[in-house]
Copies of this chain bind each other. A is one copy, B any other.
Amino acid sequence: MNLKDIGEFGLIRRIAPLFDAVAPGAMGIGDDCAILPGAGEEAVLVTTDLLVEDVHFLRARIPPRLLGRKSLAVNVSDIASMGGSPTACFLSIGLPAEIELDWLDEYFKGVKEIGEETGCPLLGGDTTKSPRGIVINFAVVGRVARERAKFRSGARVGDVLAVTGPLGDSGAGLRLLLENRPLDSDDARVLVEAHHNPRPHMPEGQWLAARAAVTAMMDVSDGIDSDIRHILERSSVGGARVDLDTLPTTACMRRICAQYSWTPEELAAAAGEDYVLLCALAPEAIDEIASGFEKMFGRPLVRIGAITAEGGLQYYKNGLPARLARHGFDHFRGNE
């Protein structure tokens, strides 16, 4: 037996029981961040993310400044998804000896930019040689008021599912890159930018975390098709209903999909890397929260479905059961 027989989630299930004896007040494997006891009412959040060249990015296709931004932004997004704010970041980077200093200068410029924009200074790390491609690991430490922290595990039957922004732009941008489509239209540029330069929804996360009616929250990294299943599993609830007609998409993403005969709802549900927030909310509070969210951010909090008692994740379109052609991504198995 080897790793590709069990896949990434199989590996996590295999090793998690070895590490279940955690410190009092701490929570570990299974959420966007680990949470540790901090000062007074505060808890400490820790998250970490490994990017490997040719798996997570193609050096020739992403400008180094944007790679710097994105490699830190995806971790700040994990902090945002718990309702927290970042304290500092730590970068381990493995580099081929022949890499150009210009590339490095641009990469670190991007790291500095996003660190300043999100209040997340670089405080340390490790540099080393890598004989075969760039390897980047960010660890981000953050903080959150303990009673406000949101997890994947609090969703209840009847809760509404909602997202804080459009889905599928990043996936469409990635598909344009992978299929070597022309990138000289405004639409293509916007979508590739969405893929290369995601904005962590930190203000949105902190605002939602202050509402007790928000029962579960995470960021959309694998795609809602996979991410909703994580919420169902961690919350021990039986299912969810998602209305594909309600998934928020941008006009430029729909125009590009029309041009290449791609299915917008498949990209919106399964392509991932949107880094908007996905949350579950008590149904009696949704109107007030959605209205407050729109006043605060000038954009809607978009309802896409609900938690159900059973049946797993079920899609509907025009009120009828529907199927998605693609499923989530498992690193060791490829697309399933």
Interface residues of A (CB under 8 A from B): 1-6, 8, 11-12, 14-15, 18-19, 21-23, 26-29, 31, 33-34, 36-40, 44, 46-52, 54-56, 87-88, 90, 92-102, 104-105, 108-109, 112, 115, 121-133, 135, 137, 139, 141, 331-333
Scoring A37, A93, A122 by chain B CB atoms within 10 A of each residue's CB, the highest score goes to A122
Contacts A2-B100, A11-B127, A124-B28 given: A92-B137 contact, CB under 8 Å? Answer: yes
A295 → chain B, closest Cβ, in Å? 32
**A50 x B95 contact (CB < 8 A):** no
Taken together as a complex, chains A and B put the C-alpha atoms of A197 and B303 apart, in Å, by 53
Taken together, the copies of this chain in the complex come to: 2
Q: Quick check: A55 and B128 within 8 Å, CB to CB? A: yes
Q: Are B50 and A92 in contact (CB under 8 A)?
A: yes
Main secondary structure of the interface of A (DSSP, over half): mixed
Q: Which residues of B contact A36 (CB under 8 A)?
A: 87-88, 123, 141
Q: Which 7 A-B pairs have the closest CB atoms?
A: A39-B39, A28-B123, A139-B139, A50-B92, A34-B123, A4-B97, A132-B132
Contacts of A38 in B (CB 8 A): 38-39
Q: Residues of B contacting A104 with CB < 8 Å? A: 3, 11, 14-15
Closest approach, in angstroms, between the C-beta of A13 and any C-beta of chain B? Answer: 11
A332 B132 Cβ-Cβ under 8 A: no
Asked whether, in the complex, the Cβ of B3 is within 8 Å of the Cβ of A121, the reply is no
**Among B49, B96, B126, B332, contact of A48 (Cβ-Cβ < 8 Å):** B126
A135 touches which of B8, B52, B102 (Cβ 8 Å): B52
Q: Which of B15, B23, B123 sits near A26, CB closer than 8 Å?
A: B123
- Is B34 a contact partner of A124 (Cβ separation < 8 A)? yes
Assess the B54–A139 pair: CB atoms within 8 A: no
Point out which of A4, A37, A44, A129 has the most chain B C-beta atoms below 10 A from its C-beta: A129
* Residues of chain B contacted by A6 (CB below 8 angstroms): 101
Name the distance in Å between A3's Cβ and chain B's nearest Cβ.
5
